[in-house]
Structure 1
Amino acid sequence: MTLPRYRDPAAPVPDRVRDLLGRMTLAEKVGQLNQRLYGWDAYERAGDGHRLTDAFRAEVAAFDGMGALYGLQRADAWSGVGFADGLDATDGARTAAAVQRYVTENTRLGIPVLLVEEMPHGHQALDGTVLPVNLAVGATWDPDLYADAVAGAAAELRARGAHIALVSALDLVRDPRWGRSEECFAEDPYLAARMTEALVEGARRAGVAVVLKHFAGQGATIGGRNSAATELGPRELHEVHLAAARAGVAAGAAGVMAAYNEFDGLPCVANRYLLTDLLRTEWGFEGVVMADGTAVDRLVRLTGDPVSAGALALDAGCDLSLWDDSFTRLGEAVERGLVSGAALDAAVARVLTLKFRLGLFEQPLPPAAPQGGGLPDPVELGERIARASVTLLSHEGGVLPLSRSVRRIAVLGPNADSLAQQIGDYTAPQRPGGGITVLAGVRAAVAPGTEVVHGRGCDLAGDDVSDVPAAVALAAGSDVAVLVLGGSSARSPDTVFDANGAAVTGSGPPSGMTCGEGVDLADLALPPAQRALLAAVSATGTPVVVVLVQGRPHALHEVDAPASAVLSAWYPGPLGGRAVAEVLFGDAEPRGRLPVSVPRSAAQLPVYYNGKDHRYRGYVDQSAGPLHAFGHGLSYTSVEYGAPRLSRSRVDVRAPRLLCRVTVRNTGSRRAEETVQLYVRRLSGGTAWPRVRELRGFVRLSIAPGAEADALFEVGADTLASVGRDLGPVVEPGVVELETGPASDRTRGARLEITDSESNVT
């Protein structure tokens, strides 16, 4: 018997797609574009194992197949899945295999299912490795380390039978009031682009395809309000918000997720300019576009009915829905002439192409052996990220690193001993006894005989100060107080969720959350009780070291004055407490550098470093600049930066290649771990008003005491390009400064002329 062409693994993928597409009914095609069922509704506990549900079987029967299944392994407060009824690694692989067997054996064409999982910072599944959040990743300025960690986490996901990882990567922190700031790598497009490339490359090593979230401009939401409108113009979109997406597509991302926000009056999922004209026609992207959860159904407000809503999204370029009902009615849309059969076939072809390229038709079941053999341990890599992300923001009086000769240390604050509050949003339940809090890390790090006392001091949110006196008493009798403050994205069973899994906010933080999806802030200051605790502990005269465990940069004008030192640990993951302790005691250098600017108050927003250079003089009542600038981070030693040296002072737009070199000397007594940053600042020329400066490179140096090292940057068209009149990257004639330094506000520059020899323009 001759196999159908689409079953022949030796046939070219386009031929297999055409053959299979030609055999499909309209209903089967529509089924391939739907991802309606929540994965945790596809199984139920049966005795000591799990079985597939009637709801799953009915969903398969409705379209004689299933395009994709989201979150089969997901566990968290929103899904309601925990250790009592969820899937561990072994049960997860078995259930994924059962899903594939059922679909391939009980449908006419036997098309396997794409199993899609959340991997925001590790696989969001029971016993999945939890990595530090993206903002912590950005603080490492270390794409290679991140790529290794992603490869390890993706290998876990693949071993459970999943094929696609959904990962936030494209959003930028342009307003830190936004609750999803922790999901961003940075406020800067260049740093985010490098981390996005690392993400795609790391996942590919484990055989996992990546869908990048969210396309495009969601971080520019007005007022930091989740899923709200943006006021982006085309140039701002291209100059700032598309760099990471462009880099991810070029690196081989399998898909992008259309964002909730609108651009130019249309939600991204219905925006043909974004999803077709730009993404496919201009960039040549051949992967899939996935809707964000229930985003297509939201279009009913525009179209008046779900059939038209589905047609609008499909025609714009959306291929795969997420939990929507509107896409299930695409067959009606074709029959009513609201969308063409050719548009439907193009979307189905993209989904099928992905399935063929992932090898699902040859190996639909989970691999017999884990993918990515020889990959490093993601748990160990997660701890390395946590350690590298700790950022020393301020330091007065030489309190750090802490001496092991101290007699008594008070570890205080609402984040001192809470694992849940240091692991971030989109995290599965953790087994009891796992992880290391800051308190546990300090206790393990001190010398024998040192007493470590602990008091919570206050709740995470609110203004109740009734426990402050007890904490003050502990601090007063100690040699140093480590005060662990900040925020929390920890979801609880009491949290109320929207239909798409976002926390529902009302008159106050939902069940203690002060950050996370749906948890936006109007005021970036720490809550009143935390500020009162800090003031009272500082008043004792005991040296105070503040550790901020947070998912966004809080406004810190209340913190720096009374504290001897301030560190940001972001959400460092389950082992983050040990990483923080190692930095506190000097067993590790504070390597982290800010991926975002730290504001003085919410009133001065925006404070991102790369705004337009209009020479604004500032407010009357306070500085317009940040408290700590993008790229900032102190160390336990001192360094001196020389001026940048260019191999050429003039280049032509057609061959703009040169070398930029800067010497960094360690003038202190400890090893220096420096992240040398390269910025471009336009002085004249160009087709648009220039930005203050733009990051275009970074190099990490490790320098012994008394030694010096050179950071070398190869400067080319990518470094010098700006967005031209046609909104594409172009090297424009003019004069720029290439600036180097340890942070965006501490740079030295060298002038470079960019000439156009054919038109004699400088």
Structure 2
Amino acid sequence: MTLEEKLAQLVGYWSDQTTDAVAPMSGEMAPPASFEEAIEHGIGHLTRVYGTFPVEPLERARWLWEQQRRLVTGTRLGIPAIVHEEVLTGLAAWKAATFPTPLAWGAAFDPELVERMGAAIGRSMRELGIHQGLAPVLDVIRDPRWGRVDECIAEDPYVVGTIGTAYVRGLQQEGVHATLKHFVGYSASQAGRNHAPTHIGPRELADVFLPPFEMAIRDGGARSVMNSYAEIDGVPVAAASELLTGLLRDTWGFDGVVVSDYFAVAFLESMHGIAADRGEAAQLALDAGIDVELPSGDAYLAPLAARVRSGQVPEELIDRSVLRVLSQKEDLGLFDATFDDPPERIDLDDAEHRQIARRLAEQSVILLSNDGSLPIEGARRIALIGPNADSAESLMGCYSFANHVLAHHPGTEFGFAIPTVREGLEQRFPSSQLLVSRGCEVEGDDRDGIGAAVGTARSAEVAIVVVGDRAGLFGRGTVGEGNDADSLELPGVQRELVEAVIATGTPTVVVLLTGRPYALGWLLDGSHPAAAVLQAFFPGEEGGTALAAILAGDVNPSGRLPVSLPRSAGAQPFSYLHPILGGPSDITSADSTPVRPFGFGLGYTTFAHEALEVAEQVPTTGSFVVRVRVRNTGRCPGADVVQLYARDTAASVTRPVAQLVGYERVALEPGEEAILAFDVPTSRLAFTGRALRRIVEPGDIELWVGPSSAVKETVARTELVGAVHEVDSSEDRIVAVRVESVARPTPAA
């Protein structure tokens, strides 16, 4: 291969690159060359063929097959391109299914269902000739002010790791590759700002931010990793060889391909200031371990070629990455593909997609409070109020095709069905009169509609107020990439609207459609709280239908908070994984206690957790079994998320006051009980010691099961005995949960 042919394999080509804000600072980069110029030496990646404009999928597939044939037959080497797309909430293509946002995956606590969703997305990718999906996001949430929280799964690294790994397995079982992002530390941005510096110590990096990536690589077999835009303690990740090569490849054994986040290589010059020009930026990134520059070749083409020819960059570095890319293409079967038969028909939103979307939406909705007003029964007049009550956009996340791309193409239909909350309620309550009033907008200070909304609420038996966010990018919307917040109050005048409706005395149910948790103490624990509050994190195309079913009582809400519900913006950053000094005390007047803790969620039934059992002593190596009895103590069927927590009561470094060890979703009929057995590897209790090695120490461990991280409903203790155990990288870290027995209530005589 010539040098030009090698470099061509290390870059993407974005034929549809636009100045529209669908990638950070895309308008400041060089426009793409013509396709004829680009394919002269081949192409490594084709960037967002379906996901930049609303193109008819079948027509675009025929175009794509033709371009791949041109690469095979019209270039000297005949190497096809990898096609990559965004797949965070489903395939980001026109007319494709839109699933709940990842924060809702975390709320559902159901890895098996997320794996099914990943497989459905992977099938759509494969049918359209797409090979690599830019998901999942494995950033651990630290600060809800950060706009990209809706792309994340949870504030707990084990939840992020297990659910993210399930998504990887599902996607890749369809013969396509997942891309883990953003490696690493992106979500710890200073003040919750996008593209901000991060200040993470090596222990926090190892114990909180890295485990999800390691799990997805070791347990999920992820084939691609994308770097983070972050700089950690002054070192941009895109130039951090200690992370991208030393840790990722040498320690973890990753043998896939590392791709840059869009324009991240060029940002080493323009945003971080550690490179004098694009050529030096390319050298730094390539040496660190970034194999492929996306979305285009701003640094890895002419600037890098000049450095190679001047002797500043050894060509062996180029060869290293080219071999990785060619191996990936071989794994994907591209060298055997002929591209003779583009698809003739395809359904990107078939019955399976919708069934998964509906179930995931139902399982992700969290009941934060309820005075008995839910479920709604027998109401003849229902007031439906709020800017999100009849909005399809408010059901979808930032990386949905509708909010990511179609926002730049007003008037273009979504191309798939997405009933709003209003439409869901109309279908579910056909005999009730639905009185609709918008009240206000999501953003802005226009209060003119609040008076009419108050009148609507007074004339109804129950009021449902649907408020929250509008996802978008870079200042277009209230949450999403580049839409960071310095306040955690509901945007605009929505709080005033809610308070005015509650003040009417009509029982008021508040439904939150958001991409981040907001400070809701006034709504949940204030002097005039709402009758009930439902939290939905952008529940996707079936979200309106799912919410209607929950409001009616057809579905028992079973979501749990994957992130603490904050007290205020000033209490951030916060995590339930805090040491003693990270919690409230008498020596500070500031209170960081969340309004609702991690793991919290109510339902229309109740559960009891009893008889937690564990051996009195367990060795620091191996595993141990924890058993607990869970019982449905209410009068209707429901699903519980059984949460096992632990605390190392005295360790050589400070440890969290609570750490989720394992979890399991279990469905029970009224009066039914089950014995759950958690097989816990001691590596789940490992931490990074003073010597910066992962260890399990001997000592006392407190274990408990409860309805959230803050409640110890049933408690047991064990002692880890033996020598300090240094955890081997091959040791299992997954907690296996078995339902050992199910006892049904004895019928009354």
TM-score normalised by length of structure 2: 0.89
Q: 268-277 vs 700-709, which deviates more?
A: 700-709
Verify the 8 A CA contact 1:487 1:515 in the aligned structure 2.
Answer: yes
In the TM superposition, 1:483-522 aligns within 5 A as 483-489=465-471, 491=472, 502-503=473-474, 505=475, 510=476, 513-522=477-486
Q: Give 3-state SS (helix, strand or coil) of 1:644's partner.
A: strand
Structure 2 match to 1:697: 662
Distance 2:543 2:308 in 1: 53
Amino acid corresponding to residue 693 of structure 1 in structure 2: A
Report sequence identity in percent: 39
Q: 1:380 aligns with which of 345, 355, 371?
A: 355
Q: 1:171 aligns with which of 117, 139, 142?
A: 139
Q: Give 3-state SS (helix, strand or coil) of 1:614's partner.
A: helix
The answer to whether the aligner puts 1:539 opposite 2:496 as a matched pair is no
In the TM superposition, 1:173-572 aligns within 5 A as 173-250=141-218, 251-300=220-269, 301-322=273-294, 323-328=296-301, 329-363=303-337, 365=339, 377-396=352-371, 398-403=372-377, 405-429=378-402, 430-431=413-414, 434-448=417-431, 450-489=432-471, 491=472, 502-503=473-474, 505=475, 510=476, 513-560=477-524, 561=526, 562-572=529-539
Verify the 8 A CA contact 2:687 2:694 in the aligned structure 1.
Answer: yes
Verify the 8 A CA contact 2:599 2:707 in the aligned structure 1.
Answer: yes
Verify the 8 A CA contact 1:193 1:247 in the aligned structure 2.
Answer: yes
Structure 2 match to 1:751: 717
Residue 56 of structure 1: CA displacement?
1.4
Q: Deviations over 1:140-164 (max 9, x none)?
A: 0001001101111111111111100
Distance 2:290 2:221 in 1: 19
Do the aligned partners of residues 39 and 643 (structure 1) sit closer, same or farther apart at CA in structure 2, a change above 3 Å counting? farther
Distance 2:351 2:258 in 1: 31
Structure 1 match to 2:34: 55
Q: 168-177 vs 363-372, which deviates more?
A: 363-372
Structure 2 match to 1:585: 552
Distance 2:142 2:157 in 1: 11
Verify the 8 A CA contact 2:584 2:591 in the aligned structure 1.
Answer: no
Residue 605 of structure 1: CA displacement?
1.4
Distance 1:293 1:126 in 2: 21
Amino acid corresponding to residue 329 of structure 2 in structure 1: K
Structure 2 match to 1:660: 626
Q: Deviations over 1:583-626 (max 9, x none)?
A: 11110010100100001211111231002233743475563210
Structure 1 match to 2:14: 37
Do the aligned partners of residues 417 and 31 (structure 1) sit closer, same or farther apart at CA in structure 2, a change above 3 Å counting? same
Structure 1 match to 2:635: 669
Amino acid corresponding to residue 524 of structure 1 in structure 2: L
Verify the 8 A CA contact 1:35 1:321 in the aligned structure 2.
Answer: yes
Do the aligned partners of residues 406 and 692 (structure 1) sit closer, same or farther apart at CA in structure 2, a change above 3 Å counting? same
Verify the 8 A CA contact 2:119 2:173 in the aligned structure 1.
Answer: yes
Q: Give 3-state SS (helix, strand or coil) of 1:743's partner.
A: coil
Verify the 8 A CA contact 2:698 2:724 in the aligned structure 1.
Answer: no
Structure 1 match to 2:124: 156
Do the aligned partners of residues 515 and 145 (structure 1) sit closer, same or farther apart at CA in structure 2, a change above 3 Å counting? same
Do the aligned partners of residues 693 and 324 (structure 1) sit closer, same or farther apart at CA in structure 2, a change above 3 Å counting? farther
Distance 2:389 2:702 in 1: 45
In the TM superposition, 1:606-755 aligns within 5 A as 606-614=573-581, 616-618=583-585, 621=589, 623-646=591-614, 648-655=615-622, 657-685=623-651, 687-725=652-690, 727-747=692-712, 748-755=714-721
Q: Give 3-state SS (helix, strand or coil) of 1:695's partner.
A: strand
Distance 1:433 1:257 in 2: 30
Structure 2 match to 1:25: 2
Verify the 8 A CA contact 1:413 1:457 in the aligned structure 2.
Answer: yes
Q: Give 3-state SS (helix, strand or coil) of 2:243's partner.
A: helix
The answer to whether the aligner puts 1:71 opposite 2:48 as a matched pair is yes
Distance 2:707 2:427 in 1: 33
Q: Give 3-state SS (helix, strand or coil) of 1:453's partner.
A: strand
Q: Give 3-state SS (helix, strand or coil) of 1:554's partner.
A: coil
Distance 1:576 1:260 in 2: 32
Distance 1:363 1:725 in 2: 52
Distance 1:477 1:376 in 2: 39
Do the aligned partners of residues 55 and 191 (structure 1) sit closer, same or farther apart at CA in structure 2, a change above 3 Å counting? same
Q: Deviations over 1:390-445 (max 9, x none)?
A: 1001112x101110x11100111011000012111122245378311111111111
In the TM superposition, 1:107-118 aligns within 5 A as 107-118=75-86
Amino acid corresponding to residue 234 of structure 1 in structure 2: P
Amino acid corresponding to residue 34 of structure 2 in structure 1: A
The answer to whether the aligner puts 1:133 opposite 2:107 as a matched pair is no
Distance 1:131 1:332 in 2: 45
Q: Deviations over 1:605-648 (max 9, x none)?
A: 123100223374347556321001000000111222214111x1
Q: Deviations over 1:326-370 (max 9, x none)?
A: 111222222223322221111111111100011100025377699
Verify the 8 A CA contact 1:152 1:376 in the aligned structure 2.
Answer: no
Q: 238-247 vs 658-667, which deviates more?
A: 658-667
Do the aligned partners of residues 210 and 609 (structure 1) sit closer, same or farther apart at CA in structure 2, a change above 3 Å counting? same
Residue 126 of structure 1: CA displacement?
0.7
Amino acid corresponding to residue 481 of structure 2 in structure 1: E
Q: Deviations over 1:366-393 (max 9, x none)?
A: 77699999x9712220111111101001
Q: Which runs of 5+ in 2 are unaligned?
A: 19-31, 403-412, 726-749
Distance 2:583 2:167 in 1: 37
Q: Give 3-state SS (helix, strand or coil) of 1:321's partner.
A: coil
Amino acid corresponding to residue 271 of structure 1 in structure 2: A
Amino acid corresponding to residue 367 of structure 2 in structure 1: L
Verify the 8 A CA contact 1:205 1:372 in the aligned structure 2.
Answer: no
Verify the 8 A CA contact 1:39 1:69 in the aligned structure 2.
Answer: no
Distance 2:691 2:178 in 1: 30
Distance 1:730 1:235 in 2: 12
Distance 1:171 1:466 in 2: 40
Residue 651 of structure 1: CA displacement?
1.3
Amino acid corresponding to residue 741 of structure 1 in structure 2: G
Residue 533 of structure 1: CA displacement?
0.6
Q: Give 3-state SS (helix, strand or coil) of 1:641's partner.
A: strand
RMSD: 2.2
Verify the 8 A CA contact 1:639 1:666 in the aligned structure 2.
Answer: yes
Verify the 8 A CA contact 1:122 1:153 in the aligned structure 2.
Answer: yes
Q: Give 3-state SS (helix, strand or coil) of 2:702's partner.
A: strand
Do the aligned partners of residues 615 and 31 (structure 1) sit closer, same or farther apart at CA in structure 2, a change above 3 Å counting? closer
Distance 1:459 1:550 in 2: 14
Q: How many residue pairs align between the two structures?
A: 690
Residue 223 of structure 1: CA displacement?
0.7
Q: Deviations over 1:725-744 (max 9, x none)?
A: 45453322221112212211
Distance 1:60 1:152 in 2: 32
Do the aligned partners of residues 462 and 721 (structure 1) sit closer, same or farther apart at CA in structure 2, a change above 3 Å counting? same
